Structure 1
């Protein structure tokens, strides 16, 4: 019985290792088979020499080297693969699945494009004051992206019902409250509801394994890659629009109405679905680009934040907090958190701590100090001038960020000093995602009535 349990645990380790290998864009199925054969031979040899199976597995993995080195070796040997990943063809055994994915994506993208035009049937246009489309824009796009992910994951009826209910709550939060378009409550709903709904998309993404921390980290990676694809598609769409203006102007036709009322809104909401499909089925290119971007911008942001803190200490002036400055600092902290999350999701968990991890620790500590300074200034202003929906929302967001950054800094410090493992950092980040969801939904649903919708 003990031998059987040991074999089961060893096979589970092989399965986990293989799943991680297959996430590397440079390694195809045959490469994973080859590497697994080598690994199994090495484990068998070590077991024959008297080692326990789990100990043999760890030693064999270490002897094979890091996956980064293996990936670079395969990339050099098969350099043509990067270009093949751009071609819309798949393995022969997966062609039917790929075709179904394309059909599902097209249906959802078309549904998003149609749904954003339905309000026009009731007299609502983009030329109005924006009081309808501004808070509802995410509701025309993200439910369709969630529908595509649900189609791929095939969760149970309970999860689907929860998703429908959460999007229905989003509809109510965007439209049921009696808020003026220029009120603070309207601004909070417009800015916080899309993030709250994106976390609902995250529930759809992990719906095939709700308890898995690895799947939640995959959603963090999905978010970064989806954003990169969306930006690239936006740049391409901008070029297309410029050409449309040029060629129609050449024949004396004004395309402003068609482009403004059809091409831009329909293209944007459809692109959110297409970008999600690209991440799901064509990951290779962006998986190569996005980690490079984090490696580039992490040191740049670290130097910038350290320079800011040195300047604050040198001239002795506090941070002057107004609405624009507060938004800027919140965005800065969000970017820092995004760099941390995406670099963690792209990192080899088996790799030892290195200089880049020390750099990340510096970035997180700098952001933590800045967040504490902002919170100190904000609490002073609230005590002096009273509370408003904006400053309460900002205070809560900075507290949520402060907790995350503080514990992340502690876990990174332990990891850099080899006192803790990388897995604890991943678990903390993925387990903390519901805290963001709770706060963003609180801002959308609770703060407006709490402040009498002003």
Structure 2
């Protein structure tokens, strides 16, 4: 089973294991199997950016849905675990809780989308003089960054990544190289339906 370098987490697991063993009448699942599942869940949550102590609390709550003894343990300790909320800058042991890496990824991609909206201005494409350009490309300013977040979060296969990249590339080529006429129905339909089409494609991620 996975062993953690944080002694406090190992202490919490030992406390949970002792509780479960004292309440064997509440569960039929072997303690070793429950502990293996608990450690695996903690490791998965820690990889996503959570502090080990927060990961332990969430992992126990998940395991509590399957194991009555763990559910009783969680109900006894939930008030203390609530103090690990991200709203608190430090844990009860005085150690600062760092923000999840996911927050920085999301903020970085959001900033990238904001810069993408402003980038055409560097080439003389202003909204008041080129409204059609912005209407056609509105979804292309934002959705690629959402796709990047989903790539980072879900880690899809190369085939899926290549397919999505190809879809966005084709959309960009069509939106910018097709000879649209000012206020044409084709341009309006493109502005309306391109975001919907790309949103559906994003579901592939």
Q: Superposition pairs for residues 6-405 of structure 1, below 5 Å?
A: 28-38=58-68, 87=87, 99-204=100-205
Which consecutive unaligned segments of at least 5 residues does structure 2 have?
1-32, 42-56
SS of the counterpart of 1:36? Answer: coil
Residues 155/124 of structure 1: CA separation in 2 closer, same or farther (3 Å cut): same
Distance 2:187 2:141 in 1: 18
State the shift of 1:129 in Å.
4.6
Distance 2:90 2:142 in 1: 28
2:46 paired residue number: none
State the shift of 1:100 in Å.
2.2
State the shift of 1:152 in Å.
1.5
8 Å CA contact 1:104, 1:148 repeated in 2: yes
Residues 29/128 of structure 1: CA separation in 2 closer, same or farther (3 Å cut): same
1:215 paired residue number: none
Residues 141/38 of structure 1: CA separation in 2 closer, same or farther (3 Å cut): same
Residues 89/134 of structure 1: CA separation in 2 closer, same or farther (3 Å cut): farther
Structure 1: which 4+ aligned runs deviate by more than 6 Å? Answer: 83-86, 88-92
Distance 2:183 2:126 in 1: 18
SS of the counterpart of 2:66? Answer: helix
State the shift of 1:36 in Å.
1.6
8 Å CA contact 1:173, 1:189 repeated in 2: no
Residues 187/34 of structure 1: CA separation in 2 closer, same or farther (3 Å cut): same
For residues 366-400 of structure 1, give each alpha carbon's deviation from its aligned partner in whole angstroms, at most 9, with x where no partner exists. xxxxxxxxxxxxxxxxxxxxxxxxxxxxxxxxxxx
Distance 1:130 1:138 in 2: 14
1:273 paired residue number: none
Distance 1:127 1:201 in 2: 30
SS of the counterpart of 1:116? Answer: helix
1:386 paired residue number: none
1:415 paired residue number: none
Distance 1:133 1:88 in 2: 42
Which consecutive unaligned segments of at least 5 residues does structure 1 have?
1-10, 20-26, 41-73, 205-454
1:242 paired residue number: none
1:259 paired residue number: none
State the shift of 1:33 in Å.
2.5
State the shift of 1:103 in Å.
2.4
Q: Number of matched residues?
A: 140
More helix by share: 1
Distance 1:145 1:178 in 2: 28
State the shift of 1:190 in Å.
0.4
Q: Which moved more, 1:27-36 or 1:133-142?
A: 27-36
2:26 paired residue number: none
Distance 1:174 1:155 in 2: 26
Distance 2:164 2:190 in 1: 19
- Higher RCO (C-alpha 8 Å, min separation 6): 1
2:25 paired residue number: none
TM-score (structure 2 length as normaliser): 0.56
